[in-house]
Structures are given as C-alpha cells and as structure tokens.
Amino acid sequence: MKKLVLLIFGLVALFFVNAQEKQNAPAPKSPPATVSEELSNGTVITINYSRPSVRGRTIGKDLEPLPGQVWRTGANKATVFEVSKDVTVEGKALPAGKYALFTLVDGDDWTIIFNKTWDQFGAFKYKQADDALRVHVTSQKAESFAETLTFTISKEGVVTLLWGDYKVSFNVK
C-alpha cells in the first residue's frame, strides 16, 4: 500500500512539474496562425502558416524571400493553402484540396506556387514536378510595415500576403 501511495504521489508531482514547464516555455519565434474565409459561392479558403517576424532584418537580404530561391511563404512547416471546391487562381484552374504555398521572388514580380506535397517542412524537399499551379503577380508597397507575416482573405476571394513593406495579392474565384 505504501508503494502505491508513493507511486501515485510521484505521478501527480511529475504531472505538475510538466505543466509548470509548459507554462514557463518561451513563446515560439514564429507562432502558428490560421486564416479562413467562406466565399459567396460557398467555397472555403483556409491558410495554415507560421508567422515569422522581421526583427530588424532586411527582407531579401538576410531574411526570406531571397531573390531566385523558393520560399515556404512562412516559417517552420510549409504554409498550407486549402480550398474546399475547385477554383481558379488568377484565372487558372486549381482543383479542391490542400497545397503547400511557395513563392519565388524577382523584384516586384512574385510567382505564387501551389505544390501538391503540402505536408513538408520548409522548402527543403520542394520539387517543381509536384507543382499543381503557378501564377504570376506584382507586389505593391504596403500601406504600413508588417512586422509579422500576415495573410488575409476577403469575402470576394482576394488573398493578400503582408510582409515588411510588401503587399502581394492574388484572386481566387
């Protein structure tokens, strides 16, 4: 009986120590976020991503996206772009499903890439052969500086990425 009481006491103590450690853990540098919107036709667009912060670094120099290199369009795992129905993106067909959202930047010209391998870390295993769709858009100067990467989705299907001084939008119908 004495051993059982000690075992129970030890397990309870371990539980409380573990819970306290989780409370004291530092916040992640690139916390996860989700944005979702239902369009007027019933299509649901959802973006799951991690939100890096600029923290005094220069985008395109010592912070992604770097010119000519595929970027996971976020931090940690690849950003996941999901549509509940078949859609068009900038007028090009994209079937319903989940995609890794990558970008390729060349000055103000951005290539938005929807890759079939949505469950991957970063862009380390990115394969162009797995691209479902690529569209080209032009970035604009953001109205205000976005310290952390932010995605928005309007009811009309305009998906906007805000990152530093960049504002990059594409249309989903």
- List the chain domain ranges: 29-171
Q: What is the pLDDT of residue 124?
A: 85
Q: What is the pLDDT of residue 42?
A: 97
Q: What is the pLDDT of residue 3?
A: 57
The percentage of residues in the chain with a pLDDT greater than 70, rounded to a whole number, is 86
Q: What is the pLDDT of residue 18?
A: 53
Q: Return mean pLDDT, the chain.
A: 90
Provide the sign of the torsion angle of the four alpha carbons 17, 20, 25, 31, taken in this order.
positive
pLDDT at 8 over 70: no
pLDDT tens digits along 18-36: 545 556 777 788 999 999 9
pLDDT-based confidence at residue 80 (cuts at 50, 70, 90)? very high
pLDDT at 12 over 50: no
Give one DSSP letter per residue of the chain, joined into a string: -HHHHHHHHHHHHHHHHHHHHHHHSPPPSS-EEEEEEE-TTS-EEEEEEE--B-TT--BTTTBSSPTTS-B-SSSSBPEEEEESS-EEETTEEE-SEEEEEEEEEETTEEEEEEES--S-BTTTT--GGGEEEEEEEE-EEEEEEEEEEEEEE-TT-EEEEEEEEEEEEEEB-
Q: What is the pLDDT of residue 161?
A: 98
What the block records as the tokens of 120 is 């991957």
pLDDT-based confidence at residue 168 (cuts at 50, 70, 90)? very high
Q: What is the pLDDT of residue 7?
A: 44
Q: Which residue's entry shows tokens 């649901």?
A: 44
Q: What is the pLDDT of residue 25?
A: 76
Instruction: With beta carbons less than 8 A apart as the criterion, state whether 36 and 44 touch.
Output: yes
Q: Is 55 left (phi over 0), alpha (psi -120 to 50) or beta?
A: left
